[in-house]
Amino acid sequence: MKEMFQKHFPKKMPLFLMYYLSLLFLEMIFRIVCIKTLFSTSLLYMLLYLLPISFLFSIIGKLGTKKINDVINSILFFLLGFLFSVELVFKNTFKVYFSIRTLGLSSNLTSFWEDTIASIFHNIIYIVLFFIPLVLFLFLRKKISCQRIGKKGLLSSCLMILLGILGFRLSLLIHKDSLNSLYELYYQVDNISLYKEKMGVIASFNLELQRKILGFQSKLLLVDSSVEKKPKEENSNRNPEQLPPKITYNTLPIDFDKIPNQNSTMMQMSEYFKSDLGTKQNDYTGIFKGKNLILFMAESFNSIAVDEYLTPTLYKLTHSSFVFENFYSPVILSTIGGEFQELTGLYPQLDLLSSIWRKKDISYQFGYGNIFKNMGYQVYAYHNNTYNFQNRDHYVKSIGFDNYLGCRNGLESRINCNRWPQSDLELIDATFEDYANSEQPFMVYYVTVSGHFPYEMGNKLAKKHLDKIQNLPYSDAVKAYIGYQMELDEALNSLLTKLEEKGILEDTIIALVGDHYPYDLSISQINEVSSYKRDEVVEVNHSNFILWNSEQETIKIEKVGSQIDVLPTILNVFGAPYDSRLIVGKDILSDTDGLAIFANQSWVSDLGTYYSNKNQFIPKEDVEIPEEYVVNMNKIVRNRINMSKWLLQYNYYNQAMDTMKKS
């Protein structure tokens, strides 16, 4: 009996089982900490997926002698712990999931090493948990079967891997046609964030690696015309006096048929743009034509910083002129993601941000500097931190700013660049005279930094405003954040005062948007000061878009908008020539439907909110939802994301502009 028991139940644990239980343990910790859920239907798929992966690890860990295998397995368990730790720290620091494509943005981690270290200490318990499988292996390696694998064992393990892969892929067919199904995410859609939320770290890492090696291309999807309405031009034999006024669109005379069709993707793009009439010109088209523009990207600015008494200038600017009630600043990879949206009107993607966007020779004709220079403006750009962080000096030049000034390329002679964070007030005071006396209209782009984390009461900016923030009924981090934003408020107040003293306030437009919400604050800290309870996926991004002029009457805009809509909105009110078909964002003041897209491809429209991780749509009250609305809206979202990438990847702008028909 004893011999039979030992035969069927060996004393040593199979290495495959050790890996399977370890991977399951690591994924469970990750789901609890980062995704904040444990049990879901996708968990069953993950359990199945980890089977062939565990057999693969066990093969690798049994290729040599027992001593060599112990070393190999120790390294593998260490690498697993390290991978999950990087995922956790990256998500905690930047509020987006780590991706292979973020390796091109490694300066985020190196530039903010103090914040990264702080995140490590903050999550040290979970990081220790990620290395428990390594510790267990080191202590129990004598009780784990790690002897060299034989031909028979290798064959059976390879068979199990093939069966496991086949079983997993067959299981994807169960809900093949469901919205955001695992089948879609695996085969058709570039949404690694959502795939990671459903399938975990190992599966998403493998999928990214697979696509990196084999290549991957999303497809354009046909959309029900009842959802994305395209008005048709009148074609009537009626008397001209009976015809409605001719509709004018913000488009350029581009001949899409003459664009070189280098591949099937570019053919799809040309057909896509040909079928789009663009956005209509409207009552606000050209209302600021010829006026000056001062545009801000304000570090971590969010509506929770707006207070009638603490930040009165921000309050005035957000509550008069154009008041955008449903504006969002989606966080998609830190500052560079927010800035990309504001500057291009395109949806940011990791490979765009890590390579294409930061190249020296990138060309973007619809950039602010290029457009306004062509209209006879003097253009300027400033940043009160390191001028070349994330290659900002490259992409700012590509949008037309040839005289960009920041710390370490000249601005350090005017402001204190050694403090952290640097003062926005100093930035305004040191640069105002550069453009204030211009005989031509001017366009100025400011990238601020005073609102940057970490939010500490001991910081100089918090101490500067200590008398106003120390007794606020909030946690210290929230108080410090408000103190930092008060520096931005003082900078704006100084700017308005100087403009008025120069007699050019009424001829100047102030535009401002945040790069992202203050993600160093937890959702509970944000809700301490928020006027309503926010969630961590959508509403945490709710913010303000300032488009202000001292002479403009107050107009409330209910339509949904986000950072990618800023560029086309500004171009429209300044009467700038541009082609709205080639900008994914849409003029918020036009009659196009509003849409804001978030990191995992959740979205908010004028009719409701869709959470991709739950596949849940929550309609707004008293609205009628068209049939197949959510399905079609998801197609629109994916098409706009694809276009955002392809427009730059295939240098489509240059080729489109080269076909301009001569009148």
Give me the chain's average pLDDT, please.
90
pLDDT at position 351 is 76
Over the chain (663 residues), what is each successive 10-residue block's mean pLDDT?
48 91 96 84 91 96 94 97 93 82 60 72 93 95 90 93 95 87 90 91 94 85 60 43 70 91 86 93 97 98 97 98 97 88 92 77 87 97 93 91 95 95 97 96 98 93 96 97 98 98 98 95 96 95 98 97 98 97 97 95 97 94 93 94 92 88 49
pTM score of the predicted model: 0.90
Residue 652 sits at the vertex; the CA angle it makes with 374 and 444, to the nearest 5 degrees, is: 30
pLDDT at position 389 is 87
pLDDT at position 39 is 78
Q: What is the dihedral of CA 75, 80, 83, 87, to 10 degrees?
A: -160
HEC per residue, 502-532: HCCCCCEEEEEEECCCCCCCCHHHHHHHCCC
Q: Which residues pair with 443 in a beta bridge?
A: 293, 379
- For 163-221, what is each residue's pLDDT tens digit? 999 999 999 998 888 888 999 999 988 888 899 999 999 999 999 999 988 888 887 88
In the three-class reduction of DSSP (H, G, I as helix; E, B as strand; rest coil), residue 286 is classed as coil
214: amino acid identity, one letter: L
Cα 292 from Cα 379, distance rounded (Å): 10
pLDDT at position 169 is 94
Contacts 24+ apart (CB under 8 A), 433-439: 434/380, 435/378, 435/380, 436/498, 436/499, 436/502, 436/504, 437/502, 438/378
**What are the structural domains of the chain?**
10-214 (no CATH), 283-590 (3.40.720.10)
Q: Residues 379, 372: contact at Cβ < 8 Å?
A: yes
- For the record, the structure tokens of 594 come out as 């509003």
Q: Residues 487, 461: contact at Cβ < 8 Å?
A: yes
Q: What string of DSSP letters covers 308-323?
A: TTTSHHHHHHHSSSEE
Q: Which residues pair with 331 in a beta bridge?
A: none
- For 26-79, what is each residue's pLDDT tens digit? 999 999 998 888 777 788 999 999 999 999 999 999 999 999 999 999 999 999
* 201-214 and 66-94 helices, crossing angle to 10°: 90
pLDDT at position 230 is 45
